[in-house]
Every structure is written in C-alpha cells, then in structure tokens.
Amino acid sequence: MLNRFSTRAAKMMLAVTTIVTATLGGSNAASAVEDSTSTTSGSPIKNVIILIPDGMANDATALARWYKGSSLTIDSMASGMVRTHSADAPIADSAPAGTAFATGHKSHTGYVGVLPDKATMPGQKAIAVGDEKKPVASVLEASRLAGKSTGIVATSEIMHATPADFSAHYPDRKNYDALSKQQVFNGMDVVLGGGSKYLEPAGRKDGDNLVASIKALGYDYVTTPAAMKASTSNKLWGMFAPAGLSYNMDRDPAKQPSLAQMTSKAIDVLSKNEKGFFLMVEGSKVDWAAHANDPIGIISDVLAFDDAVKVAMDFAKADGQTAVVAVSDHQNGGLTIGNAATTGTYDKEPLSTFIGPLKKAKLTGEGVEAKLNAKRTNIKAVIKQYYGISDLTSEEIAAIKAAEPGSLNYVVGPMISKRADIGWTTGGHTGGDVVLYTYAPNNDRPFGVIDNTDVAKYMARVLDLNLDNVSKQLFVPAKQAFTAKGAAYKLDLTDVKNPKIIVTKGSTKLELQIYKNVALVNGKKTALEGVIVYNGVDAFVPQGAVDLIQ
C-alpha cells in the first residue's frame, strides 16, 4: 500500500512540476500541460466547481479578512499564483481573462469564447490565418457533451463577460442579444443570476422573447429566492433582477438570493447526475466595486464570495469526487491598505485606523443612493446614518448631489477610502498576478505560478476532457464544410430576429438558426449538439449539422 501511494504521489508531483515549468516556459506551456495528463489518469474527480471573484485584488482579501476578524475559507486553499495577461495586452479585460479560464486560449479585449485576431504578448504564438475570432469550446460545453450536468451562477447579468465566456461565443462582449440567445439554447441545466430584461422583447434589439423560449425548453423559470428553494426541477433558470443583483450588504433576502444560496441550489440540482457536473460561479460585483474605488462594496462581496466557496468546499469534502478552483480573472483598482497619508506612519497605525471607518458603514455606495430623497436634500443625515461620516465637506456634499443615477458609489467610495487610509491607483484593471485557490480530494492540483489558460487545462484534464476535439466537433466552418459537399450555401442575416443559414442540395433544404441549436431539414425540426455561432464574419456549426447533408 505504501509503495502504491508513494508512486502515485510521485506521479502527481511530476505532473504539477511539468505544469509549473511549462508555464514559465512561455509558448511551450500548452503541450507540456497536455503531456501531464497521463500521469494522473486514475483521478477519481468527476465534478469541478470553479468560483471566480471578478477583479479581486490581493489586498481585497486581506481587507475583508481584517473586517471579518477571522480567516476566510479560501485561505486554506491557496496553492499558487496565476498570470492574467491577455493575448495582446499585459492588463486583461474580463472577457479574454474569462475566455482563458473557460477554453484554455488567450484572447483579445471584449472577445467572448473566441480566439483573438492577434497575439503580440511575449511567448504567444501567432494566430493562424483563418482562425481569427474562431469560436473554441469551453470546459462547460465539453462537460455537457461528456454527459455531465452544467450550470452558471453570477451576481451580474448572466450574459455578462465571465459567465458568457463559459456558455457563448462572440467577439464583442456587448452583444447581449447574441450571447444570451446562445446561452438559452446551449443545453445548460442551471442558470442563476441577474439580467432578466435582456431576455425580454423590450430589452433586446431583435425583439425576441427568450423567457418564452426558456420555458418552452422545459426550465423551471423562477424569480424569487422562495421559488428557487422550492423548485424540484432538474432544469432551473432563475432571474432575480433586471440587470445585476444588489451587493450582498444591500440585498433584500426576500427578493434576491445570496451567492452562497444560488451556489448551494445549483449543486443540489447538478449533483443528481451520476456522471458528474461542471459549475461556474462568479462573484461579479467585486469588480464593479473596485472600478468605483468602493471598499465597502468590495468587503461586502468578497465575504459573500467566500461564503459561496464554503458551500462548494463543504460539498466537495463530503462528496470526495469534486475539485474546487477559486481564482480571480484579474486585479482591479490597485487597492492598498495604506495610502499616501500613511507614508511616514504606516508601521505605527493601529488596525482601527483602516477598519474603524469601514465598520461604520451599513450599506455600499449603491445602497446609500436609494436612501437619498429625490432632491437629495437629506445627504448629511443619510451619510451620517449609513456611513458614520459626520464631517462632510461642502465639496463632498456637492459631489454627492451631482452624482449621476447609478454612480453614487464612485463618489462615496473614495470618501470613505480617504477616511480609512485605503489607497487606490486606478479606476481600471491592473496587471499583477492573482492568487490561485484549489482543492482536490486526491491533492491533484496545480502549484506555483501558472498561466490563466492552465486553469482550463487543469479542469479539462481532471475531468478527462479534450477541448481541442470538442472545438472541432462543435465549430466546423460552415461555408467550407457545406460547399465541400457540393451544396449551395447562403448566410441570411436579413431577419434580425431569426438569422439563419440556408443549405440546399438536391431535394434537401437545410435551415440552421443562428445562435440556436435548431436545424430544420425540409421543415422538420431537429436538435443539434451545440449552437450555431456567427462571429460577425463567418458561421460555425456542429459536425452533426454538416452530417445532415449527404
């Protein structure tokens, strides 16, 4: 027994060493990571849960820990660091950063689930001619094809960059119409978060009613925490806000579930599948708070995220067949505990200097906005009651009064940061490494400094998935494939509500509905194994669609 264990441990450490060495080696990383698969072929892992605290800086976890007064769940899971750059920039946007986690490929700013059009960062291979903006398979899609249940959970709208990276493909993260339609027809079992207005006709440029489509596909469509909890369906779609959900500190528990509650429900539904599951969970608004330089929003949603990690970890430890990954896609804001005012006193300041002012806040800047009256004549009273600030300057009062609707956290956040000596360097993302947190029942997990693309490769390896093969199966260049069969091919984009591909050969007419998994063969509907993707230039179809033309 001892010899078998030692051999297995040695093999796992060899695999880990290979991954770390490969990552530091730049362009050779991909092949080395793939080569490590055989060393852990006996892995018992059948489920993977990845939790992403979007934009979470390292100082944000320290700040949340001091605020809480005890360790975080993720503290015990730290195993390495992750490089976050995109294909052509050292500071990543969420869309390519999430694409790296989801697909194992770096991409370009704004690109969701597709290859970049250029790769100029050191160590990056040039994109092959014809592969620009080509869709590539996610771990979620590969898991679904392997018979596993799949789901996404987010506190943003679910068609936002990170959840879309795992479930849709388009080289523009702002194209919610295209992304959300793919999500509806991509065969996921659980979708929980915000964004209901982008599923309804009034909130869409194409006027489509995706809520009706969701219900027609057999989902239990719920809009309250109580309905989510009561659902017994194996297909669950929950929308709890028109756009993003509230910060956890501001949340009405009767109207919106917490991230931990959504994670728990998703696991309950997905774990019914004996073949396993893949789940992506995003604490989306850590990033939004960082953009606003709002430390209260950050504390609120880092702690809410950590609660969700605990749910995942409790399940994984009881289950014994689940790996958990928690990792931010990038840092944001340049948050520091200490600022220019503490330059000469940083080592003499007590903890209360930094945490005391933050403890007085009862809401985030976003939550405080709802407490102001229409003419904002109650600014002093509201800020004193909910932020404990009684020394507002006339300039601060004027700034609060002038703040645009939906942006008060950008005004109030810096005010409390100044009083708590919390520093910020930017209102945008930053390019530093982020902490990698992992758990696996057999301790087969990555260590050291790895690349963000290695996160996808790790998840695919432990689930025994081949992402390259799935990409070839799901995303065949349509025009090339059908014309090679002697068929006539037409891309018809005239009807914005129903763009389609029309293929004819002999007496067979094939209609493929773009962004759906629907094919009509001489008018008879058939479901495909994946969605039809149009990237603004070319269309891509599952191999099963090509096989419908003989």
Tell me which residue has tokens 């695919």: 460
Of 424, 418, 398, 399, give the one whose Cα is nearest residue 358. Answer: 418
Integer Cα distance of 290 and 285 in angstroms = 8
Cβ atoms within 10 Å of 193's Cβ, excluding its own: 29
Residue 16 to residue 43: CA distance in whole angstroms:
14
- Please, which pLDDT band fits residue 497 given cuts at 50, 70 and 90? confident
Superfamily of domain 41-335+427-466: Alkaline Phosphatase, subunit A (3.40.720.10)
User: Which band of pLDDT confidence, cut at 50, 70 and 90, is reported for residue 43?
Assistant: low
Contact present, 143 and 92 (Cβ < 8 Å)? no
- The H or E element that residue 499 is part of is none
* Res 42 pLDDT > 70: no
Which pTM does this prediction carry?
A: 0.92
Residue whose structure tokens are 């080696």? 25
d(CA 158, CA 33): 31
In the predicted model, is pLDDT for residue 506 greater than 50?
Answer: yes
Instruction: Give the model's pLDDT for residue 431.
Output: 98
- Position 13 scores a pLDDT of 41
Q: Tokens at residue 522, please?
A: 């001489």
The DSSP result for 256-286, as a single string, is S--HHHHHHHHHHHHTT-TT-EEEEEEETHH
**How far apart are the C-alpha atoms of 542 and 476, rounded to whole Å?**
6
Tell me the sheet residues that pair with 293.
none
Query: For 319-328, how does the pLDDT look when each residue is reduced to its tens digit (9 = 90+)?
Result: 999 999 999 9
Please provide residue 436's backbone torsions phi and psi, each rounded to the nearest 5 degrees: -100, 125
What tokens appear for 133 in the block? 């903006």
Q: Which of 59, 51, 17 is nearest to 36 (CA)?
A: 17
pLDDT at 294 over 70: yes
54-102 tens-digit pLDDT: 999 999 999 999 999 999 999 999 999 999 999 999 999 999 999 999 9
pLDDT: which is higher, 1 or 160: 160
State which CATH number among 3.90.1150.10, 3.40.109.10, 3.30.457.10, 1.10.3720.10 fits the domain covering 475-546. Answer: 3.30.457.10
Q: Which of 197, 194, 258, 256 is nearest to 227 (CA)?
A: 256
What's the average model confidence in pLDDT over 246-256? 98
> For residue 496, what pLDDT is reported?
87
Cα–Cα distance for residue pair 478/475, rounded to 1 Å: 8
Token pair 């014994």 in the structure block, residue:
320
List for the chain the helix, strand, coil content (%; round to 5): 40, 20, 40
Cα(218)–Cα(256) distance, integer angstroms: 23
CA 253 from centre of chain: 23
Q: Is 70 exceeded by the pLDDT of residue 286?
A: yes
Model confidence at 44, pLDDT cuts 50, 70, 90, reads: confident
pLDDT tens-digit series, residues 332-350: 999 999 999 999 999 999 9
Note whether 476 and 543 are within 8 A (CB). Answer: yes
Among all residues, which ones are annotated catalytic? 94
Calpha distance 309→421 (Å, rounded) = 29
Q: Where are the alpha helices (DSSP H) in 370-511?
A: 379-387, 394-402, 408-419, 452-462, 467-474, 478-484
Q: What is the pLDDT of residues 352-378, one digit of tens each?
A: 999 999 999 999 999 999 999 999 999
Q: What is the DSSP letter of 135?
A: B
Question: CA 204 to CA 175: how far, in whole Å?
Answer: 10
Q: Tell me: the pLDDT tens digits for 132-169? A: 999 999 999 999 999 999 999 999 999 999 999 999 99
Burial bucket for residue 525 (CB in 10 Å: 0-12, 13-18, 19+): exposed
CA 82, 85, 87: angle at the middle one, nearest 5?
A: 130
